[in-house]
Amino acid sequence: MSLHPRRVRRLPWGTVVWLTVVWVLLWGDLSVANVLAGAAIALGVTLGLRMSPVDFHGRVRPWGVVRLFVRFALDLVRASFEVAVLALRPHRMPHGAVIGVQLRSHSDLYLTMTAELCSLVPGSLVVEAHRLTGRLYLHVLDVETAGGVEAARQAVLDQEERVLRAFASDVELRAAGLLDEPEVAA
């Protein structure tokens, strides 16, 4: 397969470099052959598996990103402890549930970020995501530990709010109901 010069310029070079770095890190061997093999595989992946571009109209808000990751780390530690306690108490059966949560944003990017962050926290797992409606369905391991169905729903909405406040534009925040309308001078 020959690469046309125009196609070479349109290649996502950042993705190629990132995939090559990941390849080398996974093999744990920094050698010329390993870097070349990683680059070849990265080129094959980026040329052969074309993905639709993700629209990002937001902006990165450093303080929001810090809040998002600090809270995610705290949730991770708390939920890990709760699941460990649940596993070590064999006499108590957890009461799991599948809950539906209607997200405020209809962006595929924010839906994916919220779903991934919720799934990474032990005790909850996204079982389905409807991108057209912006609805997530999650399995919650123990609804009682989560504080009930409504508390579990609110935890997902809080996670989405932290994602939006870290990465969304003012227009997206306003559309999600998280930013007041600007006052118009008469």
Same-domain pairing of 68 and 133: yes
Q: Among positive and negative, which fits the CA dihedral 139, 145, 147, 151?
A: negative
The verdict on residue 95 lying in a domain is: yes
Taking only the tens place, the pLDDT of each residue in 48-91 is 887 777 778 889 999 999 999 999 999 999 999 989 988 888 78
The verdict on residue 28 lying in a domain is: yes
Residue 3's pLDDT is 53
CB atoms within 10 A of CB 8: 9
Q: How many domains does the chain have?
A: 2
Same-domain pairing of 103 and 170: yes
Residue 185's pLDDT is 57
Helix ranges (DSSP H) in 89-176 = 108-120, 143-146, 149-167, 170-175
The verdict on residue 91 lying in a domain is: yes
The verdict on residue 54 lying in a domain is: no
Same-domain pairing of 15 and 89: no
Same-domain pairing of 121 and 73: yes
Q: In one letter, which amino acid is 138? A: L
Same-domain pairing of 157 and 97: yes
Same-domain pairing of 77 and 132: yes
129 in Cβ contact with 137 (< 8 Å): yes
pTM recorded for the entire structure:
0.74
SS3 11: coil
Which structural domain, as residue segments, surrounds residue 165?
62-175
The verdict on residue 56 lying in a domain is: no
The verdict on residue 184 lying in a domain is: no
Same-domain pairing of 94 and 163: yes
Q: Which structure tokens are listed for 42?
A: 């990265």
Q: Which structure tokens are listed for 108?
A: 């595929």
List the chain residues with pLDDT less than 50.
1
Distance CA 108, CA 127 (A): 16
The verdict on residue 182 lying in a domain is: no
Distance CA 64, CA 172 (A): 15
